[in-house]
Every structure is written in structure tokens, then in C-alpha cells.
Chain A
Amino acid sequence: MGQEILDLLVSTFWMILGIAGIFAIYLAISAGCWFVHSLFTRNRAGTGYGSLKTVTFGDESSVVANRIASIAAVVAVFVLWGVATGSNLLPFTLPQPFTGDTQFEYTAVNPAGDTDTGMVFVRVHAFGEEGVEKPEGKDGGDGFAKDDIVVVAERRSKVLRVQNNDEGGKEDGFRVTHVNGQPISSDSPVTYSDATVEMTGKGSLFIKPDTGWTMEALYLPPPEQVWKRFWQLNAEGYQNVGLWENVFWSLIRVVVGFGLGCLFGIPLGFAMGLNSWMRGWFDPIVEFMRPVPPLALIPLVIIWFGIGEQGKISLLFLAALWIMTIAARAGVSGVNISKVHAAYSLGATKRQILSKVILPNSLPEIFTGARVAMGVCWGTVVAAELVAAEKGAGKMIIAASKFQLTDIVIVGIILIGIIGYMIDIMMRQAENFLVPWKGRG
């Protein structure tokens, strides 16, 4: 227990360093962009009322998102991505792993004490490339040490017993002493421009082509690979399910679950806002369920409903229900009592007060709740699909991750983000259209 806590603290410490490092890089880029930007705008006076303000620091209204900064930030993310993954879209990236042909010379000593040199021709090919031809090498050579040929994938390494084809190579006392003229042993490897050559305990050579600094596509593929994968998914789908079919299934679940949540949550919230008994009756369950994250319900939902649609929709229903209930309840409680009094004085009946005053008056709150609920539902559906689904955005990325198809995972994550963002924008537009009086009462 104590050890675990200690480990936790240690890894937290490293995380702080790591996060601070990443922030520092990103902020340094930001500072650079800002500097360049300020060179261009230095002599241009701002326009509009805001530019005449002398107090801007601390005046929230004078802080407006600088759109150039936003664009630069997004570009910076892509550039960093490209640099770190060795994208071929960029003129400069971190040093990439070595690929292509290289060769080195080894020196061997035979039991008789004679020395001779042989060449090793190495062909390093891209990871995953198949049917790579062997490089050409002069086989033979003039002495007892014969040339060798080896094929290895980038970032991978290979053990090679160069002495196997040498004359007398299998006799005791035959050993390799130098690589490229430098002495080699099991604890002193030789590095040259393209690769590192190590020696194993048994005297074999261990060839490691230079791995460079870029990330391997298995961890993070370069942008162009993700882009290509996107178009491929768009055309062919993955595991017999189209990309948009997956997205469609996620969306339809959200829409149905959210719809059910509204259908029951809004009337429930109204009942709680209008009636003491109902408020008392539902208060405990609402207050209890509110802090339970929907994800915590996934196991229970799977036990109850299996992995079919019903389970996922029930989950989304539960995710939306409490949010909508609370929003509707807040909407009713938030009605200015003088509006209700005015309506009664104008002769409205209870039913008319409900439909003409309380309902429209609570729409802004309901919309705020709906936006939150939509966001939660979208997150929940993806998580639920990760656990159990046959189709859906979450299902696609979890299936791809099992085959280490990181590019599909990233396509999925980007799509999930974009769709979530678009849902929020749509909700905001609907809000502006349907409750134009929001915030202006």
C-alpha cells in the first residue's frame, strides 16, 4: 500500500514534468507566432470601440478570441504532429529512422591467428513492407571471411552470425574482432552513421539500424497516413461496416436516448417544480442519480439488457433523464413570480399558466440542460460502444485498436470530436432560433 502510494507520487511527479514540458513547447511556439504576428500588426491601429479602451487587462469584455491565434494554434498542432511522426508533408521533421541500403565491414580472426575482412550488406525497409528483395552483395570475397546479406525492417533489429558462411567460421577460436575498423565486444558496441552494431554474448552481431527520433506509426501515425486511412474508411469501411454507418449508429442511439430522456425528464422536472408531493417523492432518486456517472451504469446495463441496442439506449436515456429533469425543475423554479402573478391577474387558468408562462419561461434552462445532456450522451455512447456494440464509432476504434491500427483509432477520435462539436453548434443555433430572449429577460 505504502509502496503503491509512493509509486503514484513518483509517477505524478514525472507527469508534472512531462506536462510542463509539453506546455512549454507549445507556449514557446505560441510566443513565436505571437511575435511574428505582432511584427505585421505593429503599425496598424485597431478599429472599433474596443481599440479605444485603455483598460483592457481585467475587462473581460475587451478580451476577444484572436482568430489568427486560433488558426495558428491548430496549424501548430498539425505541424508538431507531423514533425514528431516524420510526416513527408513537411520539409523538416525530427530525424527519421534509417531506411535504405547500408553496409559495414567486419574483421575476423581464425583459430590460426590470421585476420580477414568481410562486408555486411544491410537493406532496411519500411515497417510492414512485404516482398523486400535482398540487396546485392559480392558473395565470396578474397579471404576466408565471406560477405553477408541481411534484410531488416526500420526500427527493428536482427541477429546475424556473420561467421556462419566464413571458412572455418564454426571452429572454436574463430571470432569477430572489429567492425568498421573499431574493436567490438559484447560490452562495447560500434555505432556508425546508419546503424549500431552490437555483439551478443555468443559472439553474433546484432544489427540495429538508426531509429531516429520520430514516433513510430504504431503509436502515432503521421497526418497523411490518417488522412489516407480516412478516405479508405470512407470508401470501404472497416470490418464490413461503413465509416458513416458507424457514425450513424452512434448518432441514432444518442438521438433516441436523448429524446426519451427529454420525453420523461421534462415533465418530471415540471412536476417537481410545481408540486410539493412530487418534489418530495422524486427528490431522493434524482439527487442520488445525479452524481452517478452514466459510465458506472454500463456493467449493470449489460447484465440487464445484454449488448443489444436496448441496453445502450437505456444507458443514454438515464444519462439524459436526470439532466433534463433538473433543467426543467430549475426552469420552473426560475420563473419570476411577478410573471405568474401577472398572468393570474389577467385571468389565466392554471393550465394556461403552465403552457403560456411556465413552459416558455423555462425553455432557456431546458436548452442549457439539453446542450449538457447531448454532450454527456455523445461521450457516453462512445464509451458504451467501446464496451459492447456491433456498430458505432466507439466500436470501430476499439476493434481497430485490437489490431494496432492506430490510424483508424485516430480517424475515429477526430470524427468523434468533430461530431460532438457540431452537435453543440447545432444546439446553440437551435437555441438562438427558438429562445431568442435568452439572457435578455
Chain B
Amino acid sequence: MSGLVIDDVSMTFELPDGGKVEALKNINLDINEGELMSVLGPSGCGKTTLLNILAGFLAPTGGKVALAGNHVTGPSSERGMVFQQGALFEWMNVSKNIGFGPSMAGVDQGTINAKVNELLGIVGLQDFGEKMIYELSGGMQQRVALARCLANDPDVILMDEPLGALDALTREKMQSLVLDIWKETGKTIILITHSVEEALLLGERLLVMAPRPGRVHTEYRLPFAELGVGADLREVKQHADFGPKRDEILNMIWDMEEEIMGRTETA
């Protein structure tokens, strides 16, 4: 029981006007240690809500979450989080950002420095330790966010559309980086994305969610993440199964979006 267990989690938001939104309904998932899972779904299907519950920022209205048998009741350094953007500390340089977790925990400076240098190497920012955050490009900033999360050595890494704001080329490099880190560190990673290709590449498991109420629609087990480690992702995309899978999932999401549109139009 060292994985992440999501046991019948539901989340209902009460709106100020008295209405209710079932952001999540009866989600059940077992995520094994070291698993790489991507989550896909039309916007508003509860992906961020689910991640916030896993991180401990929200308490679910039903069910519970447990990591390695321990009930999740709040944020903790065992569950690291990588946000889309704007979560770095602009008032600190790159090294200070990366070393934030250990220094909050009171680790001695020598150890922190060694750790930070190692991580700078891993994310490819060797010479940028002294730079301020606002001097970096968007892609570099996400590398820092990843390194900062890794510095705490969390059991689970939660990512909410971490690459969403990056351009296509930078994004591809970052995808390789995520795969490398996953393989090297063996961490459990849950990654939300709204790119179908990214979900296919960065998910041993791919969860497609559906909205209203937010629920798991379909789950896939995919070989591409394993194939992509240390390889050229463009070649992985040439894999015979990749195209058909992508089209299948695209159609699925397309249908969901149409259904939502139809429902709002008739409503």
C-alpha cells in the first residue's frame, strides 16, 4: 500500500446563488508508486479540482485520499506540485527558488547547495543559478519549477498543465525532460494536460475525464512513455499505434464538447 489511493472521491461546490456544481463524482483510482499518469478532458471536467484534492488544498465533500496508507488532510512536502506559471518566487534567484523546500525544512546550506547544483544540471540550467526568475524564458522558468519540486524529494509530483504556456519546440524538450526525470527518479507523476499528444506521450496510464458530473470516462494503458524515455519523441509519434489512438481520443473529447455545447444551447 505505498501508492496513492483515491477512494470514492466526490466534490460538490455550492454556488453563491444556491446552485450546486458536481465537479467530481465518485472517483476511484489506485495509482501505483512510480506510475506516470496523464489526465485529459474538456475544460471544466474537474481535473484541477482533482489535483487540488490530491495536493491537499481542498478537502473533498465525499470519499478520501490516502498516500502510502496515510490519509491526506492538507498540503505536505511529500506531494510536490508544479503549476502552469507564476508560482515561482520572483524575489529569489534560481538557486534560492530551487533550494526553497530544503531551506524551509532547516537543511544546512552546504547540503542545499549540493542539491541545487545537482538539480540545475538535471534540468539543464547549470549556468543560471544566479539569475533572477524574470530574466528567464518561460521554458526555463518551468525547468526551475520542476527542479524546485524535485529538491524536496516528494513521493508524488502533481502537475497542472505545466507546459501549457510554452511554444511547441520548448514544449517538446520539456516533455523529454519530464520523461527522463520520471525514469531517473522513479517518482509517481500525475500530469494534467489539454494536449492529446502530450497525454499520449507522458502517460503510461491515460485518464480521460468527462464533465457534469466530473468523472472518469475511459482509461488507457499506453506504451509510448516507456518508448519515449531517452528517445526522440518525434519518432515515438510515428509509432503505428500513435495516430489511431490520438484520433480515437480526439473524437471522444470532441463528442463530449459537442454534447456540452448542445446541452447549453438547449438549456
Chain A residues with a Cβ under 8 A of chain B: 336, 338-339, 341-349, 352, 356-357, 360-361, 363, 435-437, 440-441
| A356 / chain B contacts, CB cutoff of 8 Å | 89, 100, 104
Complex contact B86–A347 (CB within 8 A): no
A and B contact pairs by CB, cutoff 8 A, 25 listed = A338-B83, A338-B86, A338-B87, A341-B55, A341-B57, A341-B81, A342-B87, A345-B80, A345-B81, A345-B154, A346-B77, A346-B100, A346-B101, A346-B104, A347-B77, A347-B104, A348-B104, A356-B89, A357-B89, A360-B89, A437-B91, A437-B132, A440-B90, A441-B86, A441-B134
Complex contact A437–B104 (CB within 8 A): no
| B205 / chain A contacts, CB cutoff of 8 Å | none
Cα A436 to Cα B105 with chains together (Å): 27
Complex contact A341–B83 (CB within 8 A): yes
| B56 / chain A contacts, CB cutoff of 8 Å | 344
| B87 / chain A contacts, CB cutoff of 8 Å | 336, 338-339, 341-342
Cα A435 to Cα B90 with chains together (Å): 9
Closest to B55 in A: A345
Complex contact A345–B89 (CB within 8 A): no
Complex contact A347–B81 (CB within 8 A): no
| A347 / chain B contacts, CB cutoff of 8 Å | 76-77, 101, 104-105, 152
CB distance from A256 to the nearest CB of B (A): 29
Is the interface on chain B under 10, 10 to 19, 20 to 34, or 35 or more residues?
20 to 34
| A348 / chain B contacts, CB cutoff of 8 Å | 100-101, 104
Cα A347 to Cα B77 with chains together (Å): 5
Cα A338 to Cα B74 with chains together (Å): 15
Complex contact B83–A361 (CB within 8 A): no
Complex contact B79–A345 (CB within 8 A): yes
Complex contact B148–A346 (CB within 8 A): yes
Q: With A342-B83, A344-B74, A345-B77 given, can you name 18 additional A-B contacts, CB distance below 8 Å? A: A338-B84, A339-B88, A341-B55, A341-B81, A342-B88, A342-B145, A343-B104, A344-B57, A345-B76, A345-B81, A346-B148, A347-B101, A347-B104, A348-B101, A352-B104, A356-B104, A437-B90, A437-B133
Closest to B104 in A: A348
Cα A344 to Cα B104 with chains together (Å): 10
| B86 / chain A contacts, CB cutoff of 8 Å | 336, 338-339, 441
CB distance from B217 to the nearest CB of A (A): 27
Chain B residues with a Cβ under 8 A of chain A: 55-57, 74-77, 79-81, 83-84, 86-91, 100-101, 104-105, 132-134, 145, 148-149, 152, 154
Cα A360 to Cα B83 with chains together (Å): 20
Complex contact B77–A343 (CB within 8 A): no
Interface of B, helix, strand, loop or mixed by DSSP:
loop
Cα A146 to Cα B134 with chains together (Å): 92
| B134 / chain A contacts, CB cutoff of 8 Å | 437, 440-441
Closest to A347 in B: B77
Given A346-B101, A347-B152, A361-B91 contact (CB < 8 Å): yes
Complex contact B100–A339 (CB within 8 A): no
Cα A339 to Cα B84 with chains together (Å): 11
Complex contact B90–A342 (CB within 8 A): no
CB distance from B221 to the nearest CB of A (A): 28
CB distance from B2 to the nearest CB of A (A): 20
CB distance from A415 to the nearest CB of B (A): 37
| B104 / chain A contacts, CB cutoff of 8 Å | 343, 346-349, 352, 356
Interface centre among B84, B86, B87 (most CB of A within 10 A): B87
CB distance from B89 to the nearest CB of A (A): 7
CB distance from A115 to the nearest CB of B (A): 95
CB distance from B56 to the nearest CB of A (A): 8
| A357 / chain B contacts, CB cutoff of 8 Å | 89
CB distance from B51 to the nearest CB of A (A): 10
Cα A363 to Cα B134 with chains together (Å): 16
Complex contact A345–B91 (CB within 8 A): no
Cα A408 to Cα B220 with chains together (Å): 85
Cα A338 to Cα B145 with chains together (Å): 12
Cα A346 to Cα B88 with chains together (Å): 12
| A435 / chain B contacts, CB cutoff of 8 Å | 91
Cα A343 to Cα B83 with chains together (Å): 12
Q: What 10 pairs across the A-B complex have the smallest Cβ distances? A: A347-B77, A437-B90, A346-B101, A344-B75, A440-B134, A338-B87, A360-B91, A345-B81, A338-B83, A342-B87
CB distance from B47 to the nearest CB of A (A): 15
Closest to A344 in B: B75
Cα A341 to Cα B56 with chains together (Å): 10
Cα A440 to Cα B86 with chains together (Å): 10
Cα A347 to Cα B154 with chains together (Å): 10
CB distance from B120 to the nearest CB of A (A): 17
Cα A339 to Cα B133 with chains together (Å): 13
Residue of A339, A341, A344 near B89 (CB, 8 A) is A339
CB distance from A358 to the nearest CB of B (A): 11
CB distance from A225 to the nearest CB of B (A): 52
Interface centre among B83, B84, B149 (most CB of A within 10 A): B83
